[in-house]
A = this chain, B = another copy of it.
Amino acid sequence: MSNAKIPYKIYLKEDELPKQWYNVRADMKKKPAPLLNPVTKKPVTAQELSSVFCEELVKQELDDITPYIDIPQEIIEFYKMYRPAPLIRAYCLEKKLGTPAKIYYKFEGNNTSGSHKLNSAIAQAYYAKKQGLKGVTTETGAGQWGTALSMACSYFDLDCQVYMVKVSYEQKPFRREVMRTYGASVTPSPSETTNVGRKILKQFPDTDGSLGCAISEAVESAQTQSGYRYVLGSVLSQVLLHQTVIGLETKTAMDKYNIKPDIIIGCAGGGSNLGGLISPFMGEKLRGEADYRFIAVEPASCPSLTRGKYVYDFCDTGQVCPLQKMYTLGSGFMPAANHAGGLRYHGMSSVLSELYDQGLMEAVSVEQTSVFAAAEQFARVEGILPAPESSHAIKVAIDEAMKCKETGEEKTILFGLTGTGYFDMYAYEKFHNGVMTDYIPSDDEINNALKNIPVME
């Protein structure tokens, strides 16, 4: 092992950081369907989007032809605080599995937000600052995105208002305190600060809150305060664009050592990490320069790609955001209460949905006890304590490596390790105590949820 030519961790130099994000839509012959105005059902205009989102981000959202977009120098400077992120050769895991496969993972957890979310948070905060805004609003569930955005806003001296799902605000106070450390104001949702919040509280005074409600509050709050816009941590094409810094760094590191992955694996909730990791490789595939297998891994309890429908749907439960064509379970779908981690969005990035629909990417769903078992196995040999979300990718990477053990194939497997699990120990505890359960929604449940999808002419 000590004589291996490839180090445990490949760190690029700071001047090897990508200077441009890569927009995979530019290389797609059939583009993702346009966002629609929820009222007129016509493609949304830049002007319509600009009341909610920052102008530059609207441009990025709607641009499906420019392949490379410059990363502003200020963002690159911030990236230098925690990037380049290491590409790690999982020598210890390979040895433990006894597989001839070569396993690599791109680790995005070495920053205080604990995940890849910071890559887009800093970009969105930068454009908000550049536009002269006072601040931004957003929603957060468990708090990973809210933490990343708080850090980014603190750096640019922007006000950051986070609506945090009430039950998380109360039961997961630690991420809330990280956000406060970075100067964000965190409001439990539903709250008395918005019309929609007051309305819901009047109707359901004891509600725990939901992500859908928090989104509605954050959007209303941005639209009713002068100098504020709403920002979002996944699903949108602009977020995928920013996250390509993951894949671009990975590709540079692999090219340096002449490594070519056969299989690229990522967990998929809204799709930002997976899209960011695979984009540069998918670009090669789309241009016919190389071939790769791509595998999206989703929870069996929230299976948008594997059991959803590819149709126009609402992005939020409050149905105020544009309609997006995507694989979806319906905007009213909620994962069962025993679902421990993230990856609980009802839909999927329109870019990834289209790539999946064209057969350019595979998808599998896995059950959470097998995910936590893989997480623990990984932690014990590789040291890093993975987030439950990231562990979906670990589970499938191990599965693929074990197939190689059977066949003797020396495949090269790359997966994205999006973050750390320090704030997920309650779920780990359930797993250790043997009280974690699995849940696969029945066909009836899925079909019922799909009824929420709007009927389009």
A residues bordering B, Cβ < 8 Å? 1-2, 7-9, 11, 13-14, 73, 76-77, 80-82, 92, 110-112, 114, 151, 154-155, 173-175, 177-178, 180-183, 376, 379-385, 420, 422-423, 425-426, 428-429, 432
Contact = CB atoms under 8 A, between A and B. Distances in A.
Contacts of A7: 13-14, 80
Given A112-B379, A180-B429, 5 more contacts: A111-B383, A112-B420, A173-B429, A177-B425, A422-B423
A231 to B, nearest CB: 19
A81 B8 contact: yes
A419 to B, nearest CB: 12
B183 A112 contact: no
Contacts of A77: 1-2
A82 B180 contact: no
Contacts of A2: 73, 76-77
A182 B382 contact: no
Nearest to A379: B181
A390 to B, nearest CB: 13
Contacts of A426: 173-174, 177
Contact of A9 (B73, B80, B173, B382): B80
Contacts of A175: 425
Contact of A180 (B14, B174, B182, B432): B432
A73 B1 CA distance: 11
Given A174-B425, A177-B425, A181-B428, A9 B1 contact: no
A84 B47 CA distance: 50
A92 B379 CA distance: 33
B177 A112 contact: no
A376 B422 CA distance: 19
